Amino acid sequence: MCGITGFINLTPDKNIDQPLLAQMNQAQYHRGPDDGGEFVDEHVALGHRRLSIIDVSSGHQPMISNDERYVLVFNGEIYNFQEIRAELEQLDHIFKTHSDTEVILNAYAEWGRESVNKLQGMFAYVVWDKQAQSIFVARDRLGIKPLFYTLINETFYFASELKSLKLLPDLDKTIDPKAVEQYFAFGYVAEPKTIYQQVKKLEPGHCLEISVQDNSPCISKYWDVSYAKQIQMTEQEYLTAVVDEFKKAVDSHMMAEVPLGSFLSGGVDSSAVVAMMSQLSDKAVKTCSIGFDVAEYNETEYAQQIAKRYNTDHEERIVASDDFDLLDELAQLYDEPYADSSAMPTYRVCQLAREKVTVCLSGDGADELLAGYRRYNLMMNEEKVRSILPHAIRKPVFGLLGKLYPKLDWAPQFLRAKTTFQSLAMDTAEGYFHGVSILNNSQREQLLSQNVKQQLNGYNALEVFRYHEKNFDGNDPLSLIQYLDIKTYLVGDILTKVDRASMAHSLEVRVPFLDHKFVEWSATVPTEMKIKQGCGKYILKKAMEEYLPDDILYRNKMGFRVPLADWFRGPLKEKLNEALLSEQMISCGLFNMSTIKEWITDHQSGVKEYSAPLWTLLMFASFLKQSETA
């Protein structure tokens, strides 16, 4: 796992700024403290920070091909590199190292841009072709590894983290109003946007090519997950298949020359990873868990069950639920506004894991692939109504009910009919967007300033879903929302959270559920095998009954939660007021400050529940503060 950065001058008369390259590379030191390197020639500058995992003694980057035509910088791991190497050796390629880096380099020399299709793993890499005077950039299929880029004054810049690009003296840091709209809907800025108008993210499953004297990069998609074909098998056949497919994915992800372990939260997904690792290893698996000093947020007793069952080398630590010290650090970590509060415990579990191991496996991705989120069940109930009543009837009837019905924030979920009525008036994608938005359309309308709304010119974050919906090739609503989550929530929230939190501690995290072959297989599993009798992730849970106890498999999902509502009425009350009503928030011109004041007052007095919107605003305020001092 590493950090990559660099630039290519697109005009022949510009000099390479090597001190700038060194600064950009150093900004990502945390991603790879074991080694660093730079390559500079007439047009291109490449930088690399290395966290040594495979072929620790060699594999230095930037790596130059034997004929000196190609130069590569690479972030990630290729799990099938030995098979590709054997194929290349049959084609007379000569290798000097045992690294996956050299395999990518030779694969590109042999097959060009098509070589990306052979790679199984997580990656972002850049190849400089000296003869063609061009670079090729690729990001892995699911977006596990990040890649930011910008084009300024006829120079193309790239980096693993936005903080390296923030060092560019000519970078225009104008905030993109569409990114602001997305952030307050989703809690993150969705690919390909960033918070800055001038910087983009390369989308997952995409590659980019640009040559000297080109005006702009050429971007193309090389992979997508298909839901077009669902395979019909017996339940028993599916139970056997899910174990076989998942075990293969875990096995491939256990390759390392450094200490390797697994997160163990006590939930289904991480416990399944540990169970498979224990089947595949003759040594005790190293596991780590964190718990909270508040019982309702603490899952450590369940993690201990799994650790005892599989005799793992287990490490556990209790952290304070009021872990406020991290609030300001998160803004520095994520570089742009990011509102998932579980980033705090994720940071701490990565910190603990790094004390024991360099590589950790995670259970992320299972909920998106196999329908584990509670919201999927709720959506499927709504779909039953949608299937009975046509949209022409639903829209006026449920739209009116949604307006008339009181919004009961304090009530149990089944009594909160206002949100359900509003959703039923919409189609599947819009209804799902309405359900997952942190701030709904009305709240964002109240929050954003008149100036921002004018710049948006009618743009709504729903367009992110509409953009991806056009590429969906399935024909059932559950598959559609899974596809939307894979394209948005998974990459923008979950994988971003884990990448930044782990890399802050120079820890490599691997996600076997997101092995692209397992992802492709999971897309063929029919809806009735994913959700059955209200049980999400049915086929995975049923298959794991042989390996995990029922109170792990079938208890309510807890997840990494923090008590935001109580914080904002208690220990964080003053900090919230100070941050949200700061000079930066007022002067940025993005917000209607009277709305913010009203939300703070109503929440702190207990009149209404605004913890999620207030946290989202707090993280934006932290971003503004960090940007001003950077």
- What distance in Å separates the CA atoms of residue 408 and residue 608, rounded to the nearest whole number? 9
* Active-site position among 2, 207, 350, 588: 2
Q: How many CB atoms lie within 10 A of CB 103?
A: 27
- Whether the CB-CB separation of 369 and 512 falls below 8 Å is answered with no
What is the rounded distance in angstroms from the CA atom of residue 316 to the CA atom of residue 102? 38
Active site residue 207: no
Residue 590: DSSP 8-state: -
The answer to whether the beta carbons of residues 578 and 596 sit under 8 Å apart is no
Q: Which ranges in 509-609 belong to alpha helices (H)?
A: 516-522, 527-530, 538-543, 550-553, 564-569, 573-580, 583-587, 593-604
Neighbours of 187 (CB within 10 A): 23
How is residue 415 annotated by DSSP? Answer: G
Per-residue tokens: 545: 């009954």
3-class state of residue 323 by DSSP? coil
Residue 107 contacts by C-beta under 8 Å, 6 or more apart in sequence?
84, 88, 115, 118, 119
Q: Which two tokens stand for residue 550?
A: 């029922």
Asked if the bond preceding 259 is cis, omega within 30° of 0, the reply is: no
The residue to which tokens 């400050």 are assigned? 593
Give dist(CA 252, CA 121) in Å, integer: 9
Residues with catalytic function: 2
